[in-house]
Amino acid sequence: MDLSSLLDGLNDKQREAVSAPQSSMLVLAGAGSGKTRVLTHRIAWLMQEEQQSPYSILAVTFTNKAAAEMRERVEKVSGSNMGRMWIGTFHGLAHRLLRTHYQDANLPQSFQILDSDDQLRLIKRILKSLNLDEKQYPPRQAQGYINGKKDQGLRPKHIDTTGFPIEQNLLKIYQVYQESCDRAGLVDFAEILLRAHELWLNKPHILEHYQDRFKNILVDEFQDTNAIQYAWIRVLAGNSANVMIVGDDDQSIYGWRGAQVENLHKFLDDFPHAQTIRLEQNYRSSANILNASNELIANNPDRLGKKLWTEDKAGEQIGLYCAFNEMDEARFIVGRIMDWQDMGGNLSDCAILYRSNAQSRVLEEALLHKGMAYRIYGGLRFFERQEIKDAMGYLRLISNKNDDAAFERIINTPARGIGGRTLDILRSTARQQELTLWQTCLRLLDEKVLSGRAANAVRGFMDLIVTLQQDTEEHSLHRMTDHVIQTSGLKTMYEAEKGEKARARVENLEELVTAARTFVMPEDLEDMGELNAFLSHAALEAGEGQADAFTDAVQLMTLHSAKGLEFPMVFMAGVEEGIFPSQMAMDEGDRLDEERRLCYVGMTRAMKQLYITYAESRRIYGRENFARPSRFIKEIPSEYVQEIRLKAQVTAPTNRFSNRINSAISDSRNRPVRAVAGHESGFSIGQRVMHFKFGEGKVIDLEGNGEQAVIEVNFDDVGRKRLKIAFARLEKV
Ligand code: ATP
Ligand code: MG
């Protein structure tokens, strides 16, 4: 691509940033102003205009999905293959570094990643071995403590031990936890970053090599970097690299995970010659959506302050729907998506965003009921599903027998008569003798410590693993996976379980074989072997490359994982006090600001249509709650909002799901039903009407006024249609 087209499609400010002389730079701008676009074009510019080699470029994004998109965009803009270029997430890049320099990082070649589930399991085990009560030391709190310290770059030896007894014990847990990870060759997510940082500090020759190489460092979503991530970049940049960071302080949503907006200031101190460029035009959202979002975020104190405007027209108002309960809410959302589809829209244009993962289940049920394809980012990711983790446990143990997390997971899955008591013995011996569980088994069998039955069971398990390993040595990855699933007894176990869920599990196991078959070995990881590469891929990319990526599907995700993305139609569900903002955030002032930023992130994902929904009552986390609409709703000026009134008519129950909805609605009979009686359009619900094309039908819903008024008619021949009254040319009959 030539020069002019590289700068085409950019406004003056964007152009200035893309074509600036080589130096460090901060691009500070609000949502949808083209920050990511600028970053991508800058990479292409550096290569074409500044003759920088792709090898000299390191680009950091927030998710694997964003990294893949960026690689694709750079390839498109520059017209060349960027296969080996370092574009990735902090974790992905740091992991790549550790794989290459595992010895210098003090790791075994076969080291594996401990995801947060396995981490929690390990912490529970450690609490037990230290005789600490889970009530006094909730495992999640200990987990937060460990990860928090690591995010600040702190090892146990750096932590002051003179604190309160609780702190001392947390420190002890951290210590023992780290020792067992080291023995087992496991690194958790925070450890990946910490070790990569320590690699810079402890091995100057390695640092020098990369400093010579990466002369251009670019970071997207900079506002969400934490201390260790910034330190990693800072050290790598040294005194000579040009660092371009792009970010938006109003979108900082990971404070709870240690992200620091202050890094923006730190950057300006550390790179005093950096130029700051502000972008002010938004290209994503209609004016209504943008103005509403600006008004909302204006309620936050201490903002760096940015203007954001659009040339786009006002567009549709934000639809606000008050549901009776969570099922009614889901029904409403699915109804709107069906309408979108009827009007020729794609399912993948629609995103449903929610505050917490637990909210997805009801939405999923409603989508399933209508046979509508959907994809979930985060949450129930493919590689996080129980059966997949079981199968991966076998593969991990085959790769590394000292992998305690995998060992624990599968030693009695499927059941093979290894009980809690035997496990307790294994754990405590392992701890006392500083051995891994596998080594402990070898020793206990050797010393004949276990009872006859337990010994046989343990020996049987170990034989199984060794045989699996020998039998599959020459196999390709997918044949190996298939063999393991069949021979381990996992498949048989899930086949024996009855019901939908078990069937899905068996299907998932089968899908894993496909995943192994289609797995492409990254070129730069060739020496680590296919199995290890696949295991790391599963841990790092969980869910982001789901198998059904190519089918048209509604997108479901938490507000957090929606960052950086955009969709024509966005639903924000469960916008209620106690859910969003979350109860926890409501108790703390700072956290409330962060929730508001999260709301800003959610709203600014929408291009054309935004719906906000809340329920009067909701069953969530196993309890029934009666909540008030979120304060965020009240912070949006009413001129941008249109309240959608409830349907008066409910179609006859056809199955369990709609039964539940109907009963939920009739449960709330004694509350005022806000059905529309007389509408200014002159139509009313239940009335028969005639359309020139669709024929006769009955009005089932009316909402909005004036030009925006919409009518829903159930036509005798063609079924339900939503029409704008102004254009529908309906006649009463
Ligand atoms: P976020 O803060 O949400 O990450 P962003 O600032 O990174 O947003 P982009 O995703 O880069 O914004 O851009 C938002 C949308 O606007 C994209 O669809 C992008 O292609 C489009 N866009 C950006 N700049 C221009 C431009 N100059 N002309 C037309 N469209 C543009
Ligand atoms: Mg972006």
Q: Residue 471's pLDDT is what?
A: 93
CA distance 178 to 155: 9
Which amino acid residue places its CA nearest to atom 30 of ligand 1? 283
Annotated binding site: 29-36
Please indicate whether residue 36 is annotated as part of the active site: yes
Handedness of CA 29, 32, 38, 39 (dihedral sign): positive
Please indicate whether residue 37 is annotated as part of the active site: no
Q: Which of 73, 336, 401, 605 is catalytic?
A: 605
Q: Residue 670's pLDDT is what?
A: 32
CA distance 124 to 143: 10
CA distance 89 to 107: 21
Which amino acid residue places its CA nearest to atom 23 of ligand 1? 34
Ligand 2 centroid to 320 CA: how many Å?
Answer: 27
CA distance 51 to 64: 27
Give the number of the ligand closest to the Cα of residue 601: 1
CA distance 206 to 209: 5
Residues of the chain with pLDDT under 50: 1, 543-548, 647-678
Q: Which of 14, 36, 143, 413 is catalytic?
A: 36
Please indicate whether residue 220 is annotated as part of the active site: yes
- Ligand 1 pocket, CB under 6 A: 9-11, 14, 29, 31-37, 248, 251, 283-284, 564, 566, 604
Q: Which atom of ligand 1 is nearest to the CA of 39?
A: 11
Q: Residue 66's pLDDT is what?
A: 80
Q: Which atom of ligand 1 is nearest to the CA of 279?
A: 6
CA 563 to chain centre: 9
Q: Residue 662's pLDDT is what?
A: 37
CA distance 109 to 527: 10
Which amino acid residue places its CA nearest to atom 16 of ligand 1? 283
Ligand 1 centroid to 4 CA: how many Å?
Answer: 19
Strands 275-279 and 567-572, bridge-based pairing: unpaired
Secondary structure of residue 732 in the 3-state scheme: strand
Ligand 1 pocket, mutate which of 244, 277, 283, 289 (most atoms under 8 A from CB): 283
Ligand 2 centroid to 26 CA: how many Å?
Answer: 14
CA 457 to chain centre: 40
Give the number of the ligand closest to the Cα of residue 35: 1
Ligand 1 pocket, mutate which of 5, 36, 605 (most atoms under 8 A from CB): 36
Q: Which atom of ligand 1 is nearest to the CA of 601?
A: 3
Q: Residue 541's pLDDT is what?
A: 57
Q: Which of 115, 221, 541, 616 is catalytic?
A: 221
Q: Which atom of ligand 1 is nearest to the CA of 37?
A: 11
CA distance 455 to 450: 5
Residue among 235, 158, 157, 156 nearest 198 (CA): 235
Provide the total of helices (H) and of strands (E) in the chain, helices listed first.
29, 22
322: β partners: 614
What share of residues in the chain are helix, strand, coil (percent, to 5)? 50, 15, 35
Annotated binding site for ATP: 29-36
The answer to whether the beta carbons of residues 419 and 559 sit under 8 Å apart is no
Give the Å distances, CA to CA, from 65 to 35, 536, 685.
17, 16, 45
Q: DSSP string covering 135-186, please?
A: TTS-HHHHHHHHHHHHHTT--GGGS-S-S-HHHHHHHHHHHHHHHHHHHHTE
pTM of the model: 0.75
Ligand 2 centroid to 607 CA: how many Å?
Answer: 14
Residue among 450, 465, 448 nearest 409 (CA): 465
Residue among 520, 495, 499 nearest 510 (CA): 495
Q: Which of 13, 14, 35, 336 is catalytic?
A: 35
Domains of the chain with bracketed CATH:
3-100+194-282 (3.40.50.300), 112-184 (1.10.10.160), 318-377+550-672 (3.40.50.300), 382-540 (1.10.486.10), 676-733 (2.40.10)
Q: DSSP string covering 264-299, please?
A: HHHHHHHSTT-EEEEE-B--SS-HHHHHHHHHHHTT
Please indicate whether residue 221 is annotated as part of the active site: yes
Give the number of the ligand closest to the Cα of residue 15: 1
Residue matched to tokens 């704008």: 724
Q: Which atom of ligand 1 is nearest to the CA of 251?
A: 2
Q: Which atom of ligand 1 is nearest to the CA of 14?
A: 27
Ligand 1 centroid to 32 CA: how many Å?
Answer: 5
Q: Which of 191, 220, 312, 544 is catalytic?
A: 220
Residue among 203, 137, 207, 202 nearest 165 (CA): 137
Ligand 2 centroid to 547 CA: how many Å?
Answer: 25
The answer to whether the beta carbons of residues 277 and 27 sit under 8 Å apart is yes
Which amino acid residue places its CA nearest to atom 15 of ligand 1? 284
Q: Residue 597's pLDDT is what?
A: 96
Q: 679-700 burial, b for 16+ CB within 10 Å, e for fewer?
A: bebebebebebebeebeebebb
Give the number of the ligand closest to the Cα of residue 248: 1
Which amino acid residue places its CA nearest to atom 14 of ligand 1? 32
The complex's ipTM works out to 0.99
Ligand 1 centroid to 311 CA: how many Å?
Answer: 14
The answer to whether the beta carbons of residues 193 and 138 sit under 8 Å apart is no
Instruction: Output the CA torsion 288→289→295→298 (10° steps).
Output: -150
Q: What is the pLDDT of residues 293-327, one digit of tens each?
A: 999 999 998 888 787 899 998 999 999 999 988 88
Give the number of the ligand closest to the Cα of residue 282: 1
Q: Residue 367's pLDDT is what?
A: 86
What is the H or E stretch that residue 628 is in? none
The answer to whether the beta carbons of residues 233 and 214 sit under 8 Å apart is no
Ligand 1 centroid to 77 CA: how many Å?
Answer: 15
